Structure 1
């Protein structure tokens, strides 16, 4: 299936009434998703980041506190997440396993790392009224908040939660439930994106074990290696399976000249290869940074080394 054929089908679907199958709350003329439970968080985060960035820059100067690169990464990631959840791709993802996989890969391995790189917690704090910021900052140090955060933000925990979300929502029972129940479907999207955001935030900014950037980068490489392995196994299982895991997922497979099983296998290939390549590419970037930091260590003079 080519990108052109996917685009052609989407244009054809936009021009025709929506089919009865599926649960997306879409406009039947355009197939754009209007679910307020998805739109509201997107708008809250987007407006909050914009307001917080403007206040921060007025206070500290443009590019300080949050860099121009981080702002660009945030809005690129935000737009990708918004399009994945609200465009006709979301509607199609309920009826085509391949589209479902594309949607969730956009969320987990493109949108989430870009927004994690932006480190949105600073601008979001600045978006609050000045009178509230100290109280909110203090609340983050409460044991009721700080201890759970310390647990989930450990690299091992973040990697495990991200992997658990990926595997759990691709079990036939939970996946089928998400196709039948809108609340569960929302929970599926939230789980994918939230655990991916946590995972990438910990790799990019987390405490790791110790304070050394080199140690943190080394841990990030290990976490990405583990993620490549287990996501690749799941993709391989989907690709090599001779039975359909979720019978209702491939309702539009025939429109692409695919059987439901072939649709599932193509989705598995997308998880196995492109997703694995993106995780591997990120690991290589961390490895480059790790090696650069190692080679940049100051060397002791020969006289001191001899002593």
Structure 2
């Protein structure tokens, strides 16, 4: 078997069609939101969404997919981080207001409204007591060596693995970002707590892989050594890469929240300063 190079892409028609439909639907919603929103969306909306689609394309159609299935555990774990974490986070960031709900037609609004069919599902699926346990279960179960190796060997099970990881990621990032106008939106510290919980769940997978001195995944112990990486080193790279990705995601989210809080303090100070002359004049 010839090992794939990093230029060997596989263009799955279903994946290409799904990404194309997602991109076209977003472009329509973006144009509509630009027309009707008091403050039109900008690069801070479409760029994360486009990046999320790009991450999905790389994860599912680049050589990363075949290398992860046949040769390297590290490539497979990196693919999972992209599908379950990075892509969902970017897509949900791109969908936040005013894209949702102002970018939708009336029929779409009825669907995502709290009483609509999709709205009821979103409301339940993104509750903390649903989204967080589903994330934990998907992360841990699919990382079990026997289950992980079985999924890598079966195309159908592999597709199910990717689907559950992606939708679990969408649910948990929807909970954290909360892109729809909502009375239930939690304060920043609580949403950071949700994010911190997901990082701890992932740490239970990546830390053992990084530091264990024995291999856990028989499929990758017996895999061809086409890239010159021995099984234990491959496993340690997989764990370290996962831990680094989780740390960066949490660090960036923490920095964004901190900057937002500073901006709010600055705006409050400006409003207070504007009132001072009037206040002094009345004393």
Q: TM bucket by the smaller chain?
A: 0.7 to 0.9
- Counterpart in the other structure of 1:220: 191
The correspondence of residues 242-261 of structure 1 with structure 2, limited to 5 A, is 242-249=213-220, 254-261=225-232
| Selected match of 1:151 from 86, 109, 124 | 124
For the Cα contact (< 8 Å) 1:209–1:216, is it kept in 2? no
How far off is 1:97 after superposition? 0.8
For the Cα contact (< 8 Å) 1:155–1:203, is it kept in 2? no
1:92 equivalent in alignment to 2:67: yes
| Selected match of 1:134 from 96, 106, 109 | 106
Deviation string, structure 1 residues 200-251 (Cα, Å, up to 9, x no partner): 2321225899656xx4211111112222222112111222334433212356
5+ residue gaps, structure 2, are none
- Pairwise CA RMSD of aligned residues? 3.6
Whole-angstrom distance in 2 between the partners of 1:217 and 1:98? 33
How far off is 1:287 after superposition? 3.9
How far off is 1:178 after superposition? 1.3
1:192 equivalent in alignment to 2:165: yes
How far off is 1:181 after superposition? 1.7
Distance 1:175 1:198, change over 3 A: same
- Counterpart in the other structure of 2:134: 161
5+ residue gaps, structure 1, are 1-9, 16-29
Give secondary structure in 1 for the equivalent of 2:187.
helix
Distance 1:48 1:121, change over 3 A: farther
1:205 equivalent in alignment to 2:173: no
The correspondence of residues 231-270 of structure 1 with structure 2, limited to 5 A, is 231-249=202-220, 254-270=225-241
Whole-angstrom distance in 2 between the partners of 1:201 and 1:255? 39
Q: TM-score, with normalisation over the residues of structure 1?
A: 0.73
How far off is 1:56 after superposition? 4.2
How far off is 1:119 after superposition? 0.7
Distance 1:151 1:270, change over 3 A: same
Whole-angstrom distance in 2 between the partners of 1:162 and 1:176? 20
- Counterpart in the other structure of 1:114: 90
Q: TM-score, with normalisation over the residues of structure 2?
A: 0.78
Distance 1:159 1:41, change over 3 A: same
Distance 1:292 1:218, change over 3 A: farther
Give secondary structure in 1 for the equivalent of 2:143.
coil
Give secondary structure in 2 for the equivalent of 1:255.
coil
